[in-house]
Structure 1
Amino acid sequence: MLKTLKDLFDSLCPPAPAADPATAEHALQLATAVMLVEVMRADPGFHAGEREAVLAGLRDKFSLSDDEAQRLTELAEDAAQRATDLFSFTSRINERFEMPQKLRMIEHMWRVAYADGHLSAHERHVLWRIADLLHVPQGAYVNARMRAEKEAGVG
């Protein structure tokens, strides 16, 4: 019975990526992409601008080519659909990103949310929940939102 519980736990909370730097970097990129995709998925209607905002965020954050960003987004969409929680992704981000990097990611997430010209209550909730899991202070979270609002011309 204990083995069954351990197997269940391992399937829900996979171990941290191996010490291989390339594997760790890929896991970080995927975790970041999943956060951006989660905001895109939070909106009940699909808008092409949201996908482009996800791609732009990944290209900016990781200096990826268009093809690499597209492939990473596809992987993130699949991972997000299969995920039961966000902790396994946010914990990787917390391990590797300093606060300025987290704030830049939060700004990119706000850009995804505002890409269609409006912010839904569910998008706002997803962003708040992720920022909380990333231990982003409330003031910094609000400032990131204001910068994204200004850039998007809303608010």
Structure 2
Amino acid sequence: MFRTLKELFDSFAAPAADPAATEHQLQLATAVLLVEVMRADPEIGDAERAAAMQALRDKFALAGDEVERLIELATTTAAEAYDYQRFTGQLNRAFDADRKLRVIELMWQVAYADGHLHAHEAHVMKKVAELLYIPHADYIHAKLAARDAVGAR
């Protein structure tokens, strides 16, 4: 397990020459941010986990077992991470504004999956949106769309 984690952290430190490795890093960075939204809610429910899994399936066209493994790895990585910068930095380098906004939309879907927004989830969302340089109007639009989609309060 420690070897796998070391390899993971080394992959963040060194630039990936292999396009498949780069894609994996982007998948993991996105998954970590989704997991961070889940972890921000003191009561992580099945709805949030299902929303995160669906978001990863949709964004990266992954199979069910791939999504399960990615969520497991993201959960471990998120628990050991001390900031969001290395994850958002990867997304900033690889994604254009529309793709970064899509990540924020997916994060809002996870945050609202259980029908309400916890204050800690809102804080994570704000911080990540700032690190991804998402314009405030787009941030609010994504928030309202996710909230309206689930009829949340």
- Aligned pairs (5 A) from 1:29-40: 29-40=27-38
Q: Per-residue displacement from partner, 1:3-33 (whole Å, max 9, x unpaired)? A: xxxxxxxx89x52432111111100100000
Tell me the residue number matched to 2:120.
Answer: 122
CA contact (8 A) 1:58 1:64 kept: yes
TM-score normalized with structure 2 length: 0.90
Tell me the residue number matched to 1:139.
Answer: 137
Q: Does 1:88 align with 2:86?
A: yes
RMSD between superposed Cα atoms in Å: 1.6
TM-score normalized with structure 1 length: 0.89
CA contact (8 A) 1:17 1:23 kept: no
Q: Per-residue displacement from partner, 1:111-152 (whole Å, max 9, x unpaired)? A: 111111110111000000000000000000001111111111
Tell me the residue number matched to 1:41.
Answer: 39
> After TM superposition, where is structure 1 displaced by more than 3 Å over at least 4 residues in a row?
none
Q: Per-residue displacement from partner, 1:21-46 (whole Å, max 9, x unpaired)? A: 11111001000000000000000012
Helix, strand or coil: the match of 2:86? helix
- Aligned counterparts of 2:121 and 2:100: Cα–Cα separation in 1: 18
- Aligned pairs (5 A) from 1:7-22: 14-22=12-20
Q: Does 1:152 align with 2:150?
A: yes
Structure 1 letter corresponding to 2:119: A
Structure 2 letter corresponding to 1:97: F
- Aligned counterparts of 2:45 and 2:61: Cα–Cα separation in 1: 24
Where does the alignment leave 5 or more consecutive residues of structure 1 unmatched?
1-10
Structure 2 letter corresponding to 1:24: T
| C-alpha deviation, 1:58, in angstroms | 0.2
- Aligned counterparts of 1:15 and 1:111: Cα–Cα separation in 2: 30
Give the length in aligned residue pairs.
Answer: 145
Tell me the residue number matched to 2:6.
Answer: none
Q: Does 1:67 align with 2:65?
A: yes
CA contact (8 A) 1:28 1:92 kept: yes
Question: Which has the larger Rg?
Answer: 1
Deviates more, 1:15-24 or 1:131-140: 15-24
Aligned-pair identity in percent equals 53
Helix, strand or coil: the match of 2:13? coil
